[in-house]
Structure 1
Amino acid sequence: MKTFGVFVTIVCIMLTSLVSPTFAAEEKKNELVKNGKSAILLERDTGSVLYEKNADEKLPPASMTKIMTLILIMEALDKGTLTLEEKVRASENAASMGGSQIFLEAGEEMTVEELLKGVAIASGNDASVALAERIAGSEEAFVEEMNKKSEQLGLTNTKFQNTTGLPAEDHYSTAEDMAIMAKELLKYEHVTNYTSIYEDYLRKGTEDEFWLVNTNKLVKFYPGVDGLKTGYTKEAQYCLTATANKDDMRVIAVVMGAESPKKRNESIMAMLDYAYNTYETESLYKRHEVVDQWHNIRAKQQHMDVVTNESVSILKRKGEQVEDVQSELMYNDNVKLPLKKGQEIGVLKVTSKGEELSEATLTLKKDVEEAGIWTLWKRSMKELVKGAS
């Protein structure tokens, strides 16, 4: 890494004590989750753990598997390789899926947006497979991409065998890994436009009209909850990865292996109550906010906007303050051109008195092309003239 020496001092944030990157140890005595095999509570921007219970225990995730499915769907939409308006034809394989479904018929066509609603609201297994086949060519190839993404995210306790979470041997995850997946999914902030819908309809106005109702009832009954994904099988019992956004602070709460939907929801609400009663955040940068200008003599463009790939905040207990907060931009050495929009070129680190509070990837706002030979020659001549003067 090469530091360009760019320091942004955040004025107006004065503090008396630092916030540790993890808060879990001191809170283990307070058993927030009384029902459930494992659980975790995470602040989304900093990734700070506020509470955990057996968070690294490998368990079947059931339909929470679809969080990874949604990550790859949102990635494809973000890259432009998939559009919401595009129609997808359901295969025999997709239409044959059991469990939660939107009852696709083989050969039926739906838009990507309709199928996305089917996944995000109703947890449709058939909709998940239809989108997987569209993106990767087959469900098997899509599952390979799911596992590759898990590796990229550093999820050492997760392995997928399908896109849906239907029971399968050697298909597992942990509360901690599910929270990290949720954190990744929430980079695509518009995903909550779908996961927050309580009810909607597919095939509206036809004889096959289908009522979608959200499997996550907390989106209606807990203020601020706008996602993400429930799960249930006999083996997994009742699971939920939930997210809420209140007072400009987004948190993620996961419970796996609860005995009933009621007890699962009670555990999630207890964690959310604890988070919002105890902590608050200071927002520093919004996702894709311009934080610097990047220069590369070999680039066609001379001034390129550098942005963060996710929102950046600092976390603190209510009433506390943090002092001497600095943001340091650190760029990768030997960045090779051309570069695509969103490609990593460095990191932004937020520190206080030498302790790291938050980190985000730096990317470029637009594609960057390599300059032609004639342009490079003129620039070189200009630099020689400057050096001689």
Structure 2
Amino acid sequence: MSKRRWVILLVAALVFSMTVGQAAWAAQEAAKEKTPAKGAVPAGLETTAEAAVLLEPVTGKIAYEKEMDKRLPMASVTKLMTLLVATDAVEKGDFKLTDNVVTSENAWEMGGSQIYLEIGEEMSLWDMLAAIGLQSANDACVAVAEHIMGSEEAFVEAMNDKAKSLALENTNFVNCHGLTADNHYTSAYDLAQILKEGLKNPLFRKITAMKEYDLRGGAFKLWNTNKLLWWYDGADAGKTGWTEAAKYCLASSAERNGLRFICVVLGTEQVRSHFSESMKIFDYGYARYKSVNFAEQGAGVGQLKVSKGQSDMVEVQALDKVSVIVSKGEEKGFEPKLELPESINAPVQKGQEVGSYVVSKNGQEVLRVKLVAGADVPKASLGQQMRRVLDSVY
């Protein structure tokens, strides 16, 4: 074999070995990319929020959480509790929305977000509450607090009492507006519970759902700072917050196809990131879960016989929504039933507990909701009872 042929064969062998080696190296690298590192966790939902939670309020299911019990500042999301205490006072009849609230010097001095109240300026309680819910007005917060409790300090005490009544272990209020203060904190989970409680109050729901409002006869336009009301399908309540210490925060609620979620994000860094992170977490929940609904809160679900009453029957209503949250694909197999006595003796009071609505699956109870009487049924007089007996005979 000539020297020239030996050179050609040698070069070809070298090229072949390099090609095979490169292919093997590429295959190894590809395998490395597809093989998770030892101890790696499968990819899931991630959020830039320092703390977050996604709560389904009917069953209390936590669909997602990150450091949900961590104590953090919450800026103006504080005002959810301010609104809750104030609207509860109105619902109880202690105050009227038409009440005139007078601005004190203390309220006038408040900085940050405001509606620029003047000392001595009078405004209806309704206007003040709208300014708190939409504009996040710190001056209105103090004015309302003083109107309802006599002083901001007394109002803050009522806020903390309400937190204790809700068994919130990681919440403490120092003021009613959320400006940075020592020992003023909450957690993502606790805020979700506050919003859950607020949604039970029709006035609270109305205020937090409003997108806009004309104040001072239209001279001052209020726009809700919770942009999810425009940007996210089903969003219907919530409150934003920002301070340098708390960063961007948002507690919000949305409902789709009978399934409600409450989402809270605390401590997001970037402008509008509290909105984008909340929408991402909501999407996570709606992509994975579905609500199996049996009865709405207050809905009539049956009739119960009444003995010795002015009426023979009373409507039975569900005290709370009868609903089960499940992973998609697991909606079938639930069995609902009413647990009721054969009859109940008069007198019957509206709202009186009379039984239970029970939902089971595979023989196991998964949900129990109280059933109550839907109306008053006074006891029949002796004459009425005698006539009823005669009518049944003849």
> How far did residue 345 of structure 1 move?
10
> Equivalent residue for 2:14?
none
Aligned AA (2:192):
A
> Equivalent residue for 1:141?
154
Structure 1 segment 104-183 matched on structure 2, within 5 A? 104-183=117-196
Aligned AA (2:61):
S
Structure 2 residue 71 is matched with structure 1 residue 55 = no
> Equivalent residue for 1:196?
209
- CA change 1:325–1:137 in 2 (3 A) is farther
- Pick from 211, 227, 243: which aligns with 2:221? 211
Aligned AA (2:330):
E
Distance 2:311 2:110 in 1: 49
Structure 1 spans left out of the alignment, 5+ residues: 1-27, 331-338, 383-389
> Equivalent residue for 2:109?
96
Aligned AA (1:96):
E
Do the aligned residues in 1 keep the contact of 2:47 with 2:277 (CA within 8 Å)?
Answer: yes
Aligned AA (2:207):
Y
Distance 2:211 2:108 in 1: 24
> Equivalent residue for 2:294?
284
Q: Deviations over 1:325-377 (max 9, x none)?
A: 446779xxxxxxxx9x88999987655457564566777778x9xx9xxx999
- CA change 1:324–1:283 in 2 (3 A) is closer
Distance 1:99 1:194 in 2: 21
Secondary structure at the aligned position of 2:154 is classed as: helix
> Equivalent residue for 1:248?
258
Do the aligned residues in 1 keep the contact of 2:292 with 2:331 (CA within 8 Å)?
Answer: no
> How far did residue 55 of structure 1 move?
0.7
Identity, % of aligned pairs? 40
Structure 2 residue 89 is matched with structure 1 residue 76 = yes
Distance 1:160 1:344 in 2: 36
> Equivalent residue for 2:22?
none
> How far did residue 128 of structure 1 move?
1.8
> Equivalent residue for 1:387?
none
- Pick from 325, 333, 338: which aligns with 1:323? 333
Aligned AA (2:145):
A
| Greater mean alpha carbon deviation, residues 281-290 or residues 237-246 | 281-290
- CA change 1:221–1:377 in 2 (3 A) is closer
- CA change 1:30–1:216 in 2 (3 A) is farther
Structure 1 segment 325-340 matched on structure 2, within 5 A? 325-326=335-336
- CA change 1:309–1:140 in 2 (3 A) is farther
Larger relative helix fraction? 2
Do the aligned residues in 2 keep the contact of 1:33 with 1:267 (CA within 8 Å)?
Answer: no
Higher alpha-carbon Rg: 2
Do the aligned residues in 1 keep the contact of 2:117 with 2:139 (CA within 8 Å)?
Answer: yes
> Equivalent residue for 1:222?
232
Aligned AA (2:55):
L
Structure 2 residue 80 is matched with structure 1 residue 67 = yes
Secondary structure at the aligned position of 2:200 is classed as: coil
Q: Deviations over 1:260-304 (max 9, x none)?
A: 23322221111111122221212233233356889999x999998
- CA change 1:91–1:33 in 2 (3 A) is farther
Distance 2:85 2:315 in 1: 26
Aligned AA (1:94):
A
| Greater mean alpha carbon deviation, residues 146-155 or residues 350-359 | 350-359
Higher RCO structure, 1 or 2 (CA under 8 Å, sep 6+): 1
Distance 1:277 1:321 in 2: 14
Do the aligned residues in 1 keep the contact of 2:170 with 2:185 (CA within 8 Å)?
Answer: yes
Do the aligned residues in 2 keep the contact of 1:45 with 1:358 (CA within 8 Å)?
Answer: no
Structure 2 spans left out of the alignment, 5+ residues: 1-40, 341-348, 387-394
> Equivalent residue for 2:272?
262
Structure 1 segment 286-365 matched on structure 2, within 5 A? 286-290=296-300, 310-326=320-336, 350-352=359-361, 357-358=366-367
- Pick from 271, 283, 297: which aligns with 1:273? 283
> How far did residue 143 of structure 1 move?
1.3
Do the aligned residues in 1 keep the contact of 2:87 with 2:203 (CA within 8 Å)?
Answer: no
> Equivalent residue for 1:233?
243
Distance 2:259 2:295 in 1: 13
- CA RMSD across the alignment: 3.6
The two structures have a TM-score, normalised by structure 1, of: 0.74
Do the aligned residues in 1 keep the contact of 2:337 with 2:359 (CA within 8 Å)?
Answer: yes
Distance 2:156 2:352 in 1: 23
- CA change 1:301–1:278 in 2 (3 A) is same
Distance 1:234 1:313 in 2: 40
Structure 1 segment 24-63 matched on structure 2, within 5 A? 30-63=43-76
Secondary structure at the aligned position of 1:261 is classed as: coil
Structure 1 segment 362-373 matched on structure 2, within 5 A? none
Do the aligned residues in 2 keep the contact of 1:219 with 1:226 (CA within 8 Å)?
Answer: yes
- CA change 1:292–1:139 in 2 (3 A) is farther
Distance 1:171 1:348 in 2: 41
Distance 2:152 2:316 in 1: 36
Do the aligned residues in 2 keep the contact of 1:37 with 1:257 (CA within 8 Å)?
Answer: yes
The two structures have a TM-score, normalised by structure 2, of: 0.73
